[in-house]
């Protein structure tokens, strides 16, 4: 399998090359040149597999023999062995035909662990084999950071630098990052927004001349293909558990950078019977405006009680647009270059195609809190604010269909409510306790550096702190 850049100007790469990088040199994102296809019968035969075994079946075609099967099996197994639930990704029911998929049983309590536990181990395996050191650089709206640190902290071949927006992540999110004490870990609090952090990271990837000669940057954001790949798996596991492929399911996905829902789109394109995909956003609603009104334009960022989705520019949306532009990299590059300057729209037929896959809704903080309170009183289930946005959006878009046997609606529960005590309190409920393995989080010592919103300051910091080889 080969991976192409969405901007069409960089040579195709194989899986290992794509794993060890971020953006393509032309500024695009890598996507597989073709998707593996699963027939209804093949999907039916996946029933009953354990989560790691299912993951092996789904990702093997993407890795295409570049990592020895036995080694891959060991990496996958150990990645999910430290999840706090025997099913890894359990479903729980709210109402009739209404479910949540609990993706927060990993070590850092958000869905990011599904991919980053694996990514950290894949990197360590390949780098050890090549006897190479890299610099991992990432931007986080809160959850990627801790999951990436957890995945990479034990690596002898990685120095990891994580940028988060200063004072714009929850207390638990910050502490989960800044209390990691390993020497190869650096946290930078940028005086700016997540989009500022993401912009700095992309610029650093585009010009890596500040690094020592034998080093390169590796991405842990969802611009890294391996993250998307690992997230396809739980769409299959959830659908299989609710009667798929012989029954259709729909998914509602709390969306920020569009990585998680893009994995759902790929699952559907690979043959999984998925009815609708709901893009659930908070008041940072650019994707909702595009899907509902064919208007693709930025506005000002608002800071909400679901901070992991406080994002204006969703990087992974470009991967979907590549398909919408019939894989014409030049046309997409032109579209993206006009984006920062003007409000854009796509042709009628493109918009129709977009709407054939996606529904969307935008949910404000007040409704988010109301949903948390209501679901708790109706079903005794405590939702984190991101998941509440997803549940509310699902009800808004698909409420009428929920009575219909054919379409069970599954909202991805992207984080443990214990990570967002502030929002839970706002909803009038008692702040949930942290799970036992991080119960002393607030007593641990924090270590991070506050820096201005500046590319030069970041590259300078990395240059001074990346450890010398050997
Ligand atoms: C990262 C994150 C999201 C958004 O996921 P994307 O893949 O960026 O769309 C939603 N909820 C939580 C809790 C997250 O950590």
Pocket test for ligand 1, best of 147, 305, 309 (most atoms within 8 A of CB): 309
Q: Which residue's C-alpha comes closest to atom 2 of ligand 1?
A: 308
- How is 354-409 classified by DSSP, letter by letter? HHHHEEEEE--HHHHHHHHHHHHHHHS-PPPHHHHHHHHHHHHHHGGGGGSTT-EE
pLDDT tens profile 218-248: 999 999 999 999 999 999 999 999 998 999 9
- pLDDT at 405 exceeding the cut of 60: no
Query: Could you tell me the pTM of the whole model?
Result: 0.96
- Whether 426 is catalytic is no
Structure tokens belonging to residue 51: 């989560």
* CB contact at 8 A, 202 and 21: no
* CB contact at 8 A, 157 and 121: no
Cα–ligand 1 centroid distance for 256 (angstroms)? 5
Distance CA 63, CA 53 (A): 15
User: Which value, to the nearest 10 degrees, does the dihedral of the CA atoms of residues 318, 412, 420, 185 take?
Assistant: -50
- Ligand 1 site residues (CB inside 6 A) read 110, 112, 143, 222, 254-260, 308-309, 386, 414-415
List beta partners, residue 286.
none
* Structural domains of the chain, with CATH: 86-108+226-426 (3.40.50.1100)
Q: At what angle do helices 112-130 and 225-241 cross, to 10 degrees?
A: 140
pLDDT tens profile 163-194: 999 999 999 999 999 999 999 999 999 999 99
Distance CA 464, CA 268 (A): 45
pLDDT tens profile 1-59: 999 999 999 999 999 999 999 999 999 999 999 999 999 999 999 999 999 999 999 99
Position 328 scores a pLDDT of 98
Of 2, 87, 112, 132, which is the active-site residue? 112
* CB contact at 8 A, 96 and 406: no
Cα–ligand 1 centroid distance for 414 (angstroms)? 7
3-class DSSP state for residue 44? Answer: helix
Task: Give the residue from 178, 185, 182, 142 showing the smallest Cα distance to 161.
Answer: 185
The CA distances from residue 452 to 174, 190, 193, in Å, are: 18, 6, 11
Tell me the mean pLDDT in the region 78-91: 96
Cα–ligand 1 centroid distance for 48 (angstroms)? 28
* CB contact at 8 A, 265 and 259: no
β-pairing, 30-32 vs 3-5, is antiparallel
């Amino acid at each position: 399998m080969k991976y192409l850049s969405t901007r069409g100007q960089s040579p195709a790469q194989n899986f290992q090359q794509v794993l060890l990088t971020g953006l393509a040199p032309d500024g695009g994102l890598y996507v597989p040149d073709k998707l593996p296809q699963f027939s209804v019968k093949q999907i039916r035969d996946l029933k009953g597999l354990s989560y790691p075994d299912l993951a092996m079946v789904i990702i093997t075609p993407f890795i295409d023999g570049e990592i020895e099967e036995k080694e891959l099996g060991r990496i996958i197994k150990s990645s999910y062995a430290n999840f706090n639930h025997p099913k890894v990704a359990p479903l729980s029911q709210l109402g009739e035909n209404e479910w949540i998929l609990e993706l927060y049983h990993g070590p850092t309590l958000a869905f990011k662990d599904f991919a980053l536990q694996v990514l950290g181990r894949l990197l360590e395996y390949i780098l050890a084999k090549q006897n190479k050191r890299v610099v991992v650089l990432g931007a986080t709206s809160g959850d990627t950071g801790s999951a990436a640190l957890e995945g990479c902290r034990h690596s002898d071949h990685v120095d990891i630098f994580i940028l988060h927006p200063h004072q714009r992540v929850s207390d638990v999110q910050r502490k989960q990052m800044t209390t990691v004490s390993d020497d190869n870990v650096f946290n930078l609090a940028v005086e700016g927004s997540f989009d500022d952090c993401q912009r700095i990271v992309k610029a650093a990837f585009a010009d890596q001349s500040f690094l020592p000669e034998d080093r390169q940057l590796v991405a842990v954001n969802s611009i890294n293909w391996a993250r998307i790949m690992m997230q396809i798996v739980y769409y299959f596991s959830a659908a299989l558990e609710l009667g798929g492929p012989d029954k259709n399911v729909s998914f509602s996905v709390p969306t920020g950078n569009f990585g998680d829902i893009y994995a759902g789109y790929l699952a559907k394109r690979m043959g999984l019977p998925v009815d609708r995909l709901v893009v659930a956003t908070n008041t940072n609603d650019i994707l909702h405006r595009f899907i509902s009104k064919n208007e693709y334009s930025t506005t000002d960022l608002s800071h909400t009680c679901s901070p992991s989705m406080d994002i204006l520019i969703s990087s992974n949306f470009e991967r979907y647009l590549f398909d919408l532009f019939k894989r014409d990299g030049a046309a997409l590059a032109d579209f993206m270059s006009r984006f920062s300057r003007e409000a854009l729209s796509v042709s009628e037929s493109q918009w129709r195609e977009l709407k054939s896959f996606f529904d969307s809704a935008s949910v404000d903080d007040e409704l988010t809190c109301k949903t948390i309170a209501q679901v708790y009183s109706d079903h005794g289930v405590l939702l984190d604010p991101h998941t509440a946005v997803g549940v509310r959006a699902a009800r808004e878009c698909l409420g009428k269909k929920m009575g219909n046997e054919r379409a069970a609606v599954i909202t991805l529960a992207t984080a443990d409510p214990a990570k967002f005590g502030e929002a839970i309190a706002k909803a009038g409920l008692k702040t949930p306790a942290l799970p036992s393995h991080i119960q002393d989080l607030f007593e641990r010592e924090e270590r991070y550096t506050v820096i201005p919103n500046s590319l030069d300051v970041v590259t300078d910091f990395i240059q001074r702190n990346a450890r010398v080889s050997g």
